[in-house]
Amino acid sequence: MLVSGTCMIEDNHPDILSLRPERLSEYVGQAETVETLKIAIQAAGMRQEPLDHILFHGPPGLGKTTLAHIIANETGGSLTVTSGPALEKGGDLIGILTHLSKGDALFIDEIHRIPKTVEEFLYPAMEDYAVDFVFDKGAHARSHRIRLEHFCLIGATTRVGLLSAPLRDRFGIFRSLDFYNEADLVKITKRSARLLEADIHENAASELAMRSRGTPRIVNRLLKRVRDYALVKANGVITHEVVQAALLLEGVDECGLTPLDRRYIKTIIDFYKGGPVGIEAIAATLQEETDTLVDVVEPYLLKIGMILRTSAGRRASLPAYQHLGYPCQKKFIQPGL
């Protein structure tokens, strides 16, 4: 399959590509999304039409890009890969669209970051399979329409609320990807270990899955670090003890929290008395970008109940105090407070 476009990171990293499933039958987790895609792909094939445009949203690392590659494989088309920030001008998008063949897929990562002027070229492209552009200016301005081949647009975003309503409403399939459960992550860990030719014990795979924040990308990244540690320190065998030692070195604790996660929680407790506090204040104290905290740190902490997001700001919860060894405040213990 040809992968082209303005962003072709995968071509240069065959090791990363080798860990991606290539078919829906190989994909682990997200059962409802996979079933929806199977039905849509089969129905489109029976009608001999391209797929409806698809939008995936959810935290990073849950398989949005992987699903785009699988869809292209299942439909037999080529996949063109780009991202919202890479499409700076309307001409960039028009150049990509006019090179698509019938049945091809265009994958736009971080689609919420497409400039507004570029986004407007997508509206007729998605609805009418055509793009309109204007020659000259003023009294001599002329409009010209270019017909496009029928293609499938696949968008991915971590911030679906930032998508404009006209763009969001033009997607026929709209799926949210959620964090994975431990059983699915164990399956992914074992599959990746086989592909990497790593010898891993059952309880070691479970420990890795438990510490991977419900995210396949993280479990694969940690597996590679543990594989390196095992190769140097344990004759290449990944045991439960090896996983614990390797992840201690990486700074990943038993709940999957990283040093940045712990600094985030400690900032709320130590500097702001447990909250509530605004995200901008936390970012300024940590000297981190607000988007990094909102997109990378907070989703998992909210999922496991370590922090609470209220109208007044972020607050640390009782489990956060307990996990980091802080004495529990009275307001957590007294009923009704």
What are the catalytic residues? 64-65, 109, 158, 217
Rounded Cα distance, 248 and 114, in Å: 39
Best CA proximity match to 297, nearest among 326, 263, 254: 263
Residue 101, class by beta-carbon neighbours within 10 Å (0-12 exposed, 13-18 middle, 19+ buried)? exposed
Say if residues 265 and 259 touch (Cβ distance below 8 Å).
no
